[in-house]
Amino acid sequence: MIAAGWGRIVTISSSSALPGAPRMAHYAVSKAGVIGLTKTLARELAKTGIALNSIPPRWWTRQWRGLRSQRAGQRGRDGRSGAPGTCGDSR
């Protein structure tokens, strides 16, 4: 990317990274690390034409091991939750 003079890097973080969540310290700290790494690399690579962004996915309604997610009823800031088939080109 540096040789080409441009590039895009997207990392996946979490909305739980900054406020944390009960019994999820390991997850919150790992995702906060992703955000910190993304911000640091964005500053380091800005002059090379490489842009970085971190995306915190929204709440998803899903089944996991036959159990409904505890967060299935929660919604994002826009009042919606994600569901299979609503992300990308999921034909």
Q: Which two tokens stand for residue 11?
A: 């990392």
Residue pLDDT, tens place only, 50-69? 999 998 876 655 555 554 54
Residue pLDDT, tens place only, 33-55? 999 999 999 999 999 999 999 98
pTM above 0.85, yes or no: no
Let me know if 55 is a catalytic residue. Answer: no
Catalytic annotation, pick one of 9, 11, 27, 61 = 27
